[in-house]
Structure 1
Amino acid sequence: MTRRATLSTIALGIACSPILCCWITFASCCCPRRLRSHGGSEDKRRFEKRQAMAPRPLPVRPPERAVTIRNRSENDASELESKELRGMVLDQSASKLMQLPLELRQLIYRAAIGDSVMHMVLKKHKLGYIRCKDPTATDCSLEYSRCFSRNTWSAFAEIPDEPPPTDGDVLPLLLTCRQIYSEAVDFVYSTNTFAFADLDCLRYFSSTILPHRWSLVQKLDIEWCVSWPIYDSLAQTVLISRPALYPPHDEATWEGTWRIISEMKNLRSLRVTLMYFDVFRDSSCEERLLAPLRQVTLPNKFDVHLRWPGKEITDGPFRAFRPATREADNSSEEWV
C-alpha cells in the first residue's frame, strides 16, 4: 500500500504540474500587484523621498548683489561707478594676509582649500562635501569606505534628515570677506578633485553652482554601482514591476549624466569605477552601457575600471581596466 500511495502521489504531481505553471503565468499577467516584489515598492518610496529632498534650483542673483568683486578696468568712468558695480567693500589693509603680495596669498588659498579630493554628498535641499582622508582619489579605498559609510550616502540609501556634519573646512575661509572670496573661490573648483558616488549628486552639482564655476572643474572621480536590469530589454520585459528601474539607476539618468560630463570644456582628468553584481550575459548590454562614455573625448587622462570580467576594450577614448587586467601604475600621475 505504501508503494502504491507513493506512485500515486508522483503521478498526481506530474499531472498537476502543467496546471500549476498555467496558474502562475495567469497570476503574473492578471494580478501584478499581488506578485510585485517588496524591493520595487522600496525603490519607488526612496525615489519619491529623494525627489522631495532634492537641492533647490540655482537662484537668479541680481548683478548688484554679486559676491565676487569685479576687476576694475582703466576705462571705468569713475570710482563711484566701480563701487556701485562691486557693492560695499571694507578696507582690509590692516590684515597681515592682505599685506602680502597677491601671488603669495594665492599660494596660501590653494594650500588651504585646494588640491584635495572632495566627496560630494546629497543633503536635505542642498549639497555637501566631505574632504577625503587620503591624498588622492586613487588612494581612497573602494566605495570611499574610509571617508564615510556608503550605506549612508549612496543612491541606494535614503537621504538622512540630519546627516553628519560637512562643509567645515573650506567655507569659513571663503566667508571671511568678499576680497578673500573673490581671490580664493576659483581654487575650490579648478584644483580639487570632485568625487561622486551618486549620479543625482553630480547632476545637481552642475546645476546649483554658477555656470562659470562649473566650467572651472578639471578633475572628476565617479564610483557607481550599476543596477540590473539596465540596458537588458529582455529582462525588463519579463519583470512585473514598472518601471524596472527608478532614477538615478535608469538609462535616462545614466545617459543624461554623461551628456553633462561631455560638455565640460576644461575637464582634464576623469576616473570612473563601475561595479555590477554579476557579469553581463549579453555583451551588447555592456556596449550600450559604455556608449555614453565614448562621447567624452577631452580629458587627457580617462580611466574606466570595470569590476566584472569581460573582453578587452581598445577602441574607446578611455583606458578600460578589468579584474583580470593588470591595472597601470598611477603613482606617477596625480589624482588630487
Structure 2
Amino acid sequence: MRTSCSSIALGIVCAPIACCYLVFASCFCPGHLRQQEPEEKKRFERRQRMAPRPLPVRPAQRTLTIPVPEKSMCLEPRRGRTLDQSQSRLIGLPLELRQMIYRCVLGDSTMHMILKEERLGHLKCKAPSAVECRLGFNGRTLSRECCWGTFDFANIWTPMNGVKESTDGNIIPFLSTCRQIYSESINFLYSTNTFSFSDLDCLRYFSCTTLPNRFNMIQNLDIEWCMSWPIYDNIAQQLLLNNPALYPPYDETTWEETWRIVANMTNLKFIRVSLLYVDGFRDAACEAKMLAPLRKVTIPAKFEVHVSWSGEEVTDAPFQLIRPILPEPVSDDESL
C-alpha cells in the first residue's frame, strides 16, 4: 500500500515537470515531438537503396595495376597485359619529371566526396582551398552548391535538367590511359589531395569501397556535418514520441562508427572538422559524449574542430576545439 502511494505521489510531482518540458521543447523543435516526419524515413530508405556495394573480402586484382613479376609465388592468373610504351613522350621522361606531372594533374586539390546512385563520386573544388570554399546551409544539411551541383532530397547527386554533368574532376580518363601511368600516379591521388566529406555515409562508404592500402594513404581530411537534435540527449529522446529518435546518418551509432574509421587511418596529418548545431548542446555532459569518439583520433599532427556554439574550453583533448568568438558586452559608459 505504501509503495502504491509513493508511486502516485511521485507521479503527481513528476507529471508537471514532464509536461513543462514537452511544452518548452515543442516551441523550439516541434518537428521532433510529433510522429516522425515521413520525409525523413523516405530519405533514409532511398539512401539505403542507393548505397554503394562494398568491396568483396578478397577483391579481384585491378586490371589497371601492373602485375607482379612472373617469378612471384602467386599462382593466380593475371588479367590484362602491359604493352611497351617507350614511344610515348611522357613515358620517355625521367621518372622524377613524370611524378611532378602526375602530382600537378591529380594532386594538391580538394576533392568533395558525394553520394551518387549506387556509387560514390568526387568533385574537384573550384576554390583555392577548402577553407576558402564557401559553406552554406540548405535547410537540411551543410551545402557547397557552387562546387557540388544539384542534389535531391536524400542528398544524392543528380544531373541538372537531365544533362549529365561532369563529376570525378576529369581525372579518370588520365588514370585509364595505360597501366604504367596508372601504377605510377595513383598514389598521388590519395596522398596529396584533401578529401572533403559533408555526409558521414560518404566517408563510411569510401572506406569500404576503396582498397585498404589506398585508403590509408590519405593524409588530409575535411569533414563538415550538421548535427540534429536530440543527439546525445538521452532525456529528450526518452520523452519524444517518434521511434527512432534519429535516422542514420544523424544518429549516435553512425557518428561513432565514422570516428572509428578515422582513428584507424594510419597516415593522417591534418583533419579539419566543422560542426553545425543550431541550438547547441543542452549541457556540457551531452557535448562531452559527442566529443568522446574524436578523442580516439591521435595520429594527425594537426586536428581542428570548429563548432557553431559556445561553451567551456576543452584543453585535455588531441584536437583543438575552436568555438565562435562572441562579441564583448558594451558597458554603459561606452554606449554613451
TM-score bucket (shorter structure): 0.7 to 0.9
Q: 1:266 deviation in Å?
A: 0.5
Partner residue of 1:109? 102
Of the structure 1 ranges 37-46 and 248-257, higher mean CA displacement relative to structure 2 is found in 37-46
Q: 1:279 deviation in Å?
A: 2.2
1:232 aligns to 2:233 (yes or no) = yes
Give the whole-Å Cα distance in 1 for the aligned partners of 2:88 and 2:276: 50
Q: Check the 8 A contact 1:118/1:194 in 2, yes or no.
A: yes
Q: Check the 8 A contact 1:117/1:137 in 2, yes or no.
A: yes
Q: 1:113 deviation in Å?
A: 0.7
1:52 aligns to 2:52 (yes or no) = no
Give the whole-Å Cα distance in 2 for the aligned partners of 1:162 and 1:52: 18
Partner residue of 1:29? none
Q: For 1:129, which of 122, 127, 132 is the aligned residue?
A: 122
Structure 1, residues 72-114: CA drift from partner, whole Å, max 9, x if none?
Answer: 4xxx649xx99x6574111111111010011110100000010
Of the structure 1 ranges 187-196 and 163-172, higher mean CA displacement relative to structure 2 is found in 163-172
Give the whole-Å Cα distance in 2 for the aligned partners of 1:112 and 1:127: 21
1:88-103 equivalences in 2 (<5 Å): 88-103=81-96
Q: How does the TM-score come out when normalised to structure 1?
A: 0.78
Structure 1, residues 270-289: CA drift from partner, whole Å, max 9, x if none?
Answer: 00000001121221111100
Partner residue of 2:37? 40
Q: Check the 8 A contact 1:69/1:86 in 2, yes or no.
A: no
Q: For 1:138, which of 120, 125, 131 is the aligned residue?
A: 131
Q: Check the 8 A contact 2:223/2:274 in 1, yes or no.
A: yes
Bigger-Rg structure (1/2)? 1
Partner residue of 1:148? 148
Structure 1, residues 186-205: CA drift from partner, whole Å, max 9, x if none?
Answer: 10000000000000000000
Amino acid in structure 2 at the alignment position of 1:106 = Q
Q: 1:291 deviation in Å?
A: 0.5
Return closer, same or farther for 1:86/1:46 CA change in 2, 3 Å cut-off: closer
Amino acid in structure 1 at the alignment position of 2:269 = R
Return closer, same or farther for 1:61/1:296 CA change in 2, 3 Å cut-off: closer
Structure 1, residues 185-241: CA drift from partner, whole Å, max 9, x if none?
Answer: 110000000000000000000000111111101110000001100000111111111
Percent of counterpart pairs with the same letter?
55
SS for the counterpart of 1:270 is strand
Partner residue of 1:169? 170
SS for the counterpart of 1:152 is coil
Q: 1:142 deviation in Å?
A: 2.0
How many residues get paired? Answer: 287
SS for the counterpart of 1:146 is helix
Of the structure 1 ranges 97-106 and 140-149, higher mean CA displacement relative to structure 2 is found in 140-149
RMSD, aligned α-carbons: 2.8
Give the whole-Å Cα distance in 1 for the aligned partners of 2:108 and 2:155: 30
Where does structure 1 lack aligned partners over 5 or more consecutive residues?
Answer: 1-20, 26-34, 327-336
Structure 1, residues 13-68: CA drift from partner, whole Å, max 9, x if none?
Answer: xxxxxxxx99xx9xxxxxxxxx97475321111101100000122245434x5421
Q: 1:325 deviation in Å?
A: 7.2
